[in-house]
Amino acid sequence: MSDIFAPVTPAGGAQQGRSRRRNADRRARQRLRRRRRVRAIIVVLIALLVVGAVAYWAVPRVMDMFAGCGDPDVVTDYDGPGHGEVRVQIPEGASGREMGNVLEEANVVATSDAFVEAFQGNPNAALIQPGAYDLREEMSGEGAVLALLDTANRAEVIITIPEGFTTWQVYARIANIVGVSEDEVEEVAGDAEAIGLPDEAGGNPEGWFGPATYRFEPETEVSEILAAMVNQTIARFEERGVEPGERQEILTIASIVEHEVNLDEYRGQVARVVFNRLEGSGGTNGYLQMDSTTNYGNGRTGGVPTTAENEDPDNEYSTYVYDGLPPTPIGSPGSATIDAVIDPPEGDWVYFVTVNLDTGETKFADNYDEHLGYVQELRDWMAENR
């Protein structure tokens, strides 16, 4: 018989082997491709980082190299302290860049960048205050920062009101410094609402312009200046818990004490004398009999009035003629005097007299006979030191 009909060997095992080999080869090639892609990505990232770093370092330097090319007059920063004078206004809350823009526009610095670089390099730059400054033109960025940190360059209007100043003295001081007329200042002061004058003042600001040193921006309105002074007095009363209904009387008494004392140590005792006299103690019948009030009514702030002046019924501020307090304060008292009036020491004094005009020694009495003895002591001193 032919072997055509011989049994055939099964092929399944060989086919499965070849399939496994093909799968293994395919996976190997995939792994290889993935590794190549990862390497390529890493190489690209490294290249980008290198290029970025180089660009970060090189671009500013290249720009500096070519700054002003084609125009030799272009500069990025001035060299030197500058010249002339120019006034600039630094806005509230301005950043270094915003300051730089203001200074560049005023030609204080060549560029805002020059100022910003100096600003960032100075640890004190954050202390620069808003306001007006008188600076020089064409300053270096570093010089401009230092100039703004120097308070001597602040363009301010400084007004000092001493203790005891009357309204007319305040008006004259403001007019002289601000450069307006006294009449204009007085007219503004007559607008109680504009200057924030309390109702209890009755429209008369005497005594309400708090003694202090004030600083204002140039071109500040007179009404704002006066309002700040009135607010100073209101703030002092608020700090001490004084009710609005008591403020006018305290101001009036304190203004008299301010003009009557010559040494701080006597403020409290003089305040007590005023209170005792207002109550009629020691036979005073409510008459203060203070020379300072007569002087005020005559438009003076010092000196010794004559008997005729003290007894002049046309002077409504004469506390020899009229009992009780004068119509208004006679000046602006300071904080120490206000404190003395709010809390004076206990005592029965109704008289006082300075017995030594060199030292200011003052003696207080609770009866007229004792007072006459001190008056004689003053006369003796004057005779010896005539």
300 backbone dihedrals φ, ψ, rounded to 5°: -120, 160
Identify the pLDDT of residue 41.
72
Contacts of 365 (CB under 8 A, 6+ apart): 349, 350, 351, 352, 371, 373, 374
Identify the pLDDT of residue 85.
93
Instruction: Give the confidence band of 55 by pLDDT, cuts at 50, 70, 90.
Output: low
pLDDT higher than threshold 60 for residue 379: yes
Residue 164 near residue 332 (C-beta atoms within 8 A): yes
Amino acid at 83: H
137 backbone dihedrals φ, ψ, rounded to 5°: -80, 155
pLDDT higher than threshold 60 for residue 243: yes
pLDDT higher than threshold 80 for residue 354: yes
Crossing angle, helix 222-239 and helix 335-342, to 10 degrees? 40
CA gap 114, 77 in Å, rounded:
6
Identify the pLDDT of residue 151.
87
pLDDT in tens, 272-304: 999 999 999 999 999 999 999 999 999 999 999
CA gap 341, 344 in Å, rounded:
5
Nearest CA to 183 among 194, 199, 167? 167
- Full set of structural domains in the chain with CATH: 83-153 (3.30.1490.480), 157-239 (no CATH), 260-384 (no CATH)
Amino acid at 123: P
Mean pLDDT of 146-164: 93
Give 35 or 5, the one with higher predicted confidence. 35
Give 32 or 156, the one with higher predicted confidence. 156
Residue 209 near residue 170 (C-beta atoms within 8 A): yes
CA gap 327, 311 in Å, rounded:
17
CA gap 223, 193 in Å, rounded:
10
CA gap 173, 194 in Å, rounded:
20
pLDDT in tens, 192-242: 999 999 999 999 999 999 999 999 998 899 999 999 999 999 999 999 999
Tokens encoding 203 = 């429209």
CA neighbours closer than 13 Å in the CB half-sphere of residue 283: 5
pLDDT higher than threshold 60 for residue 188: yes
Specify the pTM: 0.73
Q: What share of the chain has pLDDT > 70, as a percent? A: 82
Identify the pLDDT of residue 4.
39
Mean pLDDT of 113-128: 94
Of 30-39, 167-176, 188-197, least confident by mean pLDDT is 30-39
